[in-house]
Structure 1
Amino acid sequence: MSFETVTYEVDGKVVRIGLNRPKAVNAIDGVMKRELLEAFTMVAQEKEAMVVVLFGHGNNFCSGVDLKDMAFNGWEHTPEGWAGHFNQLISTSRVMWNLDIPVIAAVKGFCLGGGCDLAMMADFVLAADNTRIGEPEIMMGAFAPTLIVPWLMGMKKAREFLVIGTELDAEEAKELGLINRVFPLDALDENVEKWVKHICNIPRAALKMSKKVLNKQYELMGLWDAIEYNREYSVILNLNKTREERMDSLKFIREQGLKALLKQLDEKTIVR
């Protein structure tokens, strides 16, 4: 099966899924949302697979949800529209979580917003030393839809990361538990392959059982109940922005461009 915005390759025991919109910094548009869900659903049918590598083509992992897509492609500002948006994102996260083999996110450059959510749902995150991780959507009146970060770091830092919207470099993110290992950019691929080879040497039954029982620990603590609660309030939050406010922000992107909007948001960011 071929995709427009995602690459999908099976190499023996390894499935590689690539975000393939490098000119848009691999931003997640409507097509990519659908194709990511389809791609990870396909992994479950790969009976010989033992590991998935998720990566971004080009110089970055993912800059988040595509604001240009929202501005130009008739975004539906309704309960059904927003529910559909968040349902697709969270459905992909749930499929990743439920796979019986591990997912490695190989990240570099920007890993922001929806891209950060995607990487954090992986079982392992291996990062280049130029990685920048953040959930900046709070400055636009939005919030992370797949709220996995509080399960990965301490409460105070989670509040700073999500409510203030501070951005982390790779070493900071590793210290806080968001990243497993950091490598020089030119050594990232080589080290990802070492992890892939190691995982493929683990007995299949033990590999699958270990993920299953570890996942169950977090499920019993209420991880998916918490994510669902956040999904409902994310819909409410986005609907609380009046249609006029929403149209004004999208009009700003259409008339002045996304870079102008990002510059405006950057000027509002005091704490970094």
Structure 2
Amino acid sequence: MEISDPILVDRPADRVARITLNRPEKRNAMSNALRTQMFAALEAADRDPGVSVVILRGAGSCFSAGYDLSSDVRDEQPWYSAGGLGNWPRHVTEGCFRIWDMAKPVIGQVHGYCLAGGTELAASCDLLYVAEDAMIGYPVVRSISPPDNQFYPWLIGMRRAMEMMLTGDTISGAEAAEYGFANRAVPLADLEPMVLDMASRVAKIPTDVQQINKRAVHRQMEAMGIRAGIRAGTELQALSAMTESAKAFYANVRNDGLTSALSARDEKFGDYRTKAE
């Protein structure tokens, strides 16, 4: 039983709101309860005239290891998404575009694991700063499907996206910055002060101007097809989740538990929880 709040909200600097994913014992796995509170906090900050920018980070050892696969993600979703096949990937991309469409910039602060749904959340932020030794990837491609939000080709290009999609391997924070997934990578000890400094710089610009600056970049990406492309990708995710391999993985989760199923998935690669220390 969890006794902590799934998110924490504070004001670490003038006109800066900070949201912390607060399930460190679960590597900040995103249950719908956590997602409901996180989006409510994001929207409250977007409405608050005293806030100019929002920081999104994770408590404990990592940013987020992804969605909470031990729960039924169809239950108690933060907002209504049309049901039927593809409900979950559609719901996820709607959430990503909720952040995309907010008036105020959202800055992601990533350390440790940033996996699966964690990468989708990080990719939705307007600015992203990472620890050099962060581990970023989408291991779900090994057993179930491509991402719900298929951002990789847009952010890191076709060749690197293909490599990550065909292996499920991680990239380091340093590589993420080199490839264009993140703005910058720094040593972990420098990450929080750098993010706070950047947030304070962003907050100096009036919010009525800043929201147009944010949209100006997004409109160019939309003219190139990013919104349509990501939405189209939800159908491929739903199709892949119906394969025999995906069904077998879900059966392993039901029969042997999530930890065992993930270990069986990754042991042939020798990484994630199966990595030799």
Q: Same fold (TM over 0.5)?
A: yes
- Kept in 1: contact 2:145–2:246 (CA 8 A): no
1:52, distance to aligned residue in structure 2 (A): 0.7
- Helix, strand or coil: the match of 2:86? helix
TM-score, length-scaled by structure 2: 0.85
- Kept in 1: contact 2:15–2:51 (CA 8 A): yes
1:243, distance to aligned residue in structure 2 (A): 9.0
User: Which amino acid counterpart does residue 131 of structure 2 have in structure 1?
Assistant: A
Q: Deviations over 1:217-266 (max 9, x none)?
A: 01111111111111122122213348963552222443xx51x3332222
Greater displacement, 242-251 / 199-208: 242-251
TM-score, length-scaled by structure 1: 0.86
What is residue 118 of structure 1 aligned with on the other side? 121
Sequence identity percentage: 26
What is residue 9 of structure 2 aligned with on the other side? 8
Q: CA–CA distance in 1 between the matches of 2:84 and 2:249?
A: 14
Q: 1:182 to 1:243 in 2, by over 3 A?
A: closer
Instruction: Give ranges in structure 1 of 5+ residues lacking alignment.
Output: 74-78
Q: Deviations over 1:39-73 (max 9, x none)?
A: 323233112321110000111000011222259x9
Matching residue within 173, 176, 179 for 1:170? 173
Q: CA–CA distance in 2 between the matches of 1:29 and 1:187?
A: 29
Q: Deviations over 1:134-172 (max 9, x none)?
A: 011001122111112211112111111123222101111
What is residue 138 of structure 1 aligned with on the other side? 141
The answer to whether residue 51 in structure 2 is matched with residue 49 in structure 1 is yes
The answer to whether residue 223 in structure 2 is matched with residue 220 in structure 1 is yes
Alignment RMSD: 2.6
- Kept in 2: contact 1:37–1:91 (CA 8 A): no
What is residue 76 of structure 1 aligned with on the other side? none
Corresponding residue pairs, total: 261
1:10, distance to aligned residue in structure 2 (A): 4.8
Matches within 5 A, 1:12-91: 12-70=14-72, 80=83, 83-91=86-94
Q: 1:237 to 1:244 in 2, by over 3 A?
A: closer
Q: CA–CA distance in 2 between the matches of 1:225 and 1:99?
A: 18
Q: 1:9 to 1:149 in 2, by over 3 A?
A: same
User: Which amino acid counterpart does residue 191 of structure 2 have in structure 1?
Assistant: L
User: Which amino acid counterpart does residue 43 of structure 2 have in structure 1?
Assistant: T
User: Which amino acid counterpart does residue 7 of structure 1 have in structure 2?
Assistant: L
Q: CA–CA distance in 2 between the matches of 1:227 and 1:84?
A: 14
1:98, distance to aligned residue in structure 2 (A): 0.5
Q: CA–CA distance in 1 between the matches of 2:86 and 2:43?
A: 20
1:26, distance to aligned residue in structure 2 (A): 0.3
- Kept in 2: contact 1:37–1:88 (CA 8 A): no
Instruction: Give ranges in structure 2 of 5+ residues lacking alignment.
Output: 76-81, 273-277
